[in-house]
Amino acid sequence: MSIVNRKVLTLDEFTIQQLRDFPHATGELSGLLRDIGLAAKRVNVEVNKAGLVDILGDANTVNVQGEDVKKLDVFANNQFTGVLQHGISCAGIASEELDEFVAFDDAVSKNSKYVCLFDPLDGSGNIDVNVSIGTIFSIYRRVTPLGTIATEEDFLQPGSKQVAAGYIVYGSSTMLVYATRRGVNGFTLDPSIGEFCLSHPDIKCPEWGKIYSVNHGNFFQYSKGVQLYIDACQKRTKDNGGPYTQRYIGSMVADVHRNLIKGGIFMYPGTFDKPKGKLRLLYESNPFAFIVEVAGGRATNGKERILDIIPTELHQRTPLFIGSKGMMDELDASLAQY
Ligand code: AHG
Ligand code: MN
Ligand code: MN
């Protein structure tokens, strides 16, 4: 027995340990996750100071070091882009904050096998009021040959091709959760050592939950099928698995994270004004659909599986219904009535 009885694995230790089962693995994915973890820690520091912005200076002003103070989502975008560009595992990135994808045009990056898409700061409208926000990321193996520069084809892959996906929630504690096909694992940032430590091994989404999450303010903008399902949620009693409870933070990362752990359903349906809803397919819906499916849940756009959608544009939107399998099946039954 080892003398050091270490029970807690850090993110690095965990990803490296995973490699032991794959003797031919190159460790590039571990490297990529380490890079993402590093950017997350830097963003976390700034998110934690967000409330001080009022006394330290606002966006578009100059901070004490004489640097421009950036909006937090721009800051987060720059951190993730920078760390991935300087790492050795990523051939290019796409981000909510950038109109076009960026292919890294240097010898090392051109020989890297992954591309990464992300929403650097999700729920950014909540920053000013000290409510949880997050980062979402999605990782694909590129389809273009190694040694060449990444192209749009590498980014416009269906979600079913994701190699890994994850998110960071900057909440009452900061957590990084990521999924590969082998499972979903959650790591909590231990601020005393500055490391993400495995706290939620092998996360499974309960088959049923009692939480439904939707923006009720849009109720009369939703289709009849969605309205019928929301009605059914409200009418649940203790005799049929209820009563349900409604929870909606307005940060998808925090809302879906809670439902993943506790069981529940999250919906961002299309409305009459915006039939495709608000959420982006490539760096919001796909990564969460991947994570939740690996954990045993489901995700659809109301008609088809999110992960089967063939993307046509980097920033395309999609309605999203995601969560516990039993609740998703019930939703389908309501939607099928119209
Ligand atoms: P972002 O801050 O990246 O633009 O995303 C915000 C999203 C998502 O996090 C959340 O679920 C949704 O917007 C909330 O929208 P509504 O206020 O329309 O409900
Ligand atoms: Mn977002
Ligand atoms: Mn965002």
pLDDT in tens, 37-51: 999 999 999 999 877
Mean pLDDT of 196-225: 98
Mean pLDDT of 318-329: 98
pLDDT of 58 higher than 70: no
What is the 249 CA–ligand 1 centroid distance (Å)? 9
Q: Is 131 in the pocket of ligand 1 (CB under 6 A)?
A: no
Q: Is 263 in the pocket of ligand 1 (CB under 6 A)?
A: no
265 touches 308 (CB < 8 A): no
Q: What percent of the chain is modeled with pLDDT above 90?
A: 83
Report the nearest atom of ligand 1 relative to the CA of 125.
2
Q: Which of 255, 278, 281, 320 to mutate to test the pocket of ligand 1 (most atoms within 8 A of CB)?
A: 278
Give the predicted TM-score (pTM) of the model. 0.94
DSSP helix/strand/coil, 137: strand
Q: Is 296 in the pocket of ligand 1 (CB under 6 A)?
A: no
Ligand nearest to the CA of 267: 1
**pLDDT tens digits for range 144-167:** 999 999 999 999 999 999 999 999
pLDDT of 295 higher than 70: yes
pLDDT of 68 higher than 60: no
pLDDT of 57 higher than 50: no
pLDDT of 225 higher than 80: yes
pLDDT value at residue 1: 45
Q: Is 215 in the pocket of ligand 1 (CB under 6 A)?
A: yes
Q: Which of 252, 255, 257, 321 to mutate to test the pocket of ligand 1 (most atoms within 8 A of CB)?
A: 252
Residues 6+ apart with CB under 8 A from 85: 93, 102, 104, 109
193 touches 41 (CB < 8 A): no
pLDDT value at residue 26: 84
Domains of the chain with CATH codes: 11-200 (3.30.540.10), 211-336 (3.40.190.80)
108 touches 295 (CB < 8 A): no
**Of 283, 281, 280, 279, residue with least CA distance to 267:** 279
252 touches 279 (CB < 8 A): yes
pLDDT value at residue 24: 76
pLDDT of 251 higher than 90: yes
**pLDDT tens digits for range 1-26:** 445 556 799 999 999 988 887 777 88
Angle (deg, nearest 10), helices 252-262 and 286-294? 10
Mean pLDDT of 218-243: 96
What are the φ and ψ backbone dihedral angles of 267, each rounded to 5 degrees? -130, 130
Report the C-alpha gap between 30 and 237 in whole angstroms.
46
pLDDT value at residue 173: 96
Q: Using the 8-state DSSP alphabet, how is residue 68 labeled?
A: B
Mean pLDDT of 59-66: 56
Query: For the chain, what is the mean pLDDT?
Result: 93
